[in-house]
A and B are shown apart, each in its own frame.
Chain A
Amino acid sequence: MNNTKILKQTPSQTAGPYLHIGCIPHQIGINSSYSKDLNNLVLANETKGSRIEICGKIYDGNHDVIKDALVEIWQVDSNGHYKSRVHNNSNSDPNFNNWGRTSCDLETGLWQFHTIKPGIIKLTTRKILAPHIWLWVVARGINKGLFTCMYFCDEKNLNILDCNLKKISNSTNINSLIADKVEDHKYRFNIYLQGDKETIFFDI
Chain B
Amino acid sequence: MDKKNRDLNYSIYPSDKNIHPKSFTPDYKSSILRSPKKSPLSIKNIISDLSGHIFEKNDLGSLDNDLIKNYCKNSEPIGERIIIFGKVLDENSKPIPNSLIEIWQANSSGRYRHNGDNYNAPLDPSFGGWGRCLTDNNGNYFFKTIKPGAYPWPNGGNNWRPAHIHFSVFGLSFLQRLITQMYFEGDPLISICPIAQSINNKNALESLISKLDLSKSVHMDYRAYKFDIILRGEKSIPFENRK
Contacts and interface: CB of A to CB of B under 8 A. Distances in A.
Given A23-B102, A87-B7, A145-B177, A11 B53 contact: no
Contacts of A167: 43
What is the predominant secondary structure among interface residues of chain A facing chain B?
A: loop
Interface string B203-231: 11101100000000000000000001111
Contacts of B5: 124
Contacts of A40: 53
A11 B10 contact: no
A111 to B, nearest CB: 16
Nearest to A24: B102
B89 to A, nearest CB: 6
Contacts, number: 269
A141 B30 contact: yes
Interface stretch (A48-56, A182-190, A195-203): A195-203
B40 A13 contact: no
B21 A12 contact: yes
Interface residues of A, number: 80
Contact of A62 (B31, B33, B46, B91): B33
B130 interface: yes
Interface in B111-137: 112-117, 128-130, 132
Given A8-B19, A144-B21, A201 B48 contact: no
A168 B42 CA distance: 9
Nearest to B90: A7
- Most chain A beta carbons < 10 A, residue from B4, B59, B61, B195: B4
Interface residues of B, number: 98
B40 A9 contact: no
Interface string A115-143: 00000011110000100001010111111
B63 interface: yes
Contacts of B180: 10-13
A199 B35 CA distance: 11
A30 B113 contact: yes
B47 A23 contact: no
Contacts of A168: 41, 43
A175 interface: no
A86 interface: yes
A193 B204 CA distance: 26
Interface string A8-48: 11111111111111110100101011111010100000000
Given A3-B235, A202-B43, A11 B199 contact: yes
Interface string A49-73: 0000000000011101010100010
Interface of B: 3-8, 10, 13-16, 19-23, 25, 28, 30-43, 45-55, 59, 61, 63-64, 70-71, 89-93, 100, 102-104, 112-117, 128-130, 132, 166, 168, 172, 174-175, 177-181, 195-196, 198-199, 201, 203-205, 207-208, 228-233, 235-238
29 contacts: A1-B235, A1-B237, A7-B233, A9-B19, A10-B207, A11-B207, A13-B181, A21-B104, A21-B113, A21-B114, A22-B104, A33-B63, A33-B70, A38-B59, A83-B54, A86-B50, A86-B51, A140-B30, A141-B32, A141-B33, A146-B36, A146-B40, A171-B41, A193-B33, A201-B38, A203-B14, A203-B41, A203-B42, A204-B42
Interface of A: 1, 3, 5-23, 25, 28, 30, 32-36, 38, 40, 60-62, 64, 66, 68, 72, 74, 82-87, 89, 97-99, 121-124, 129, 134, 136, 138-147, 163-164, 167-168, 171, 193-194, 198-204
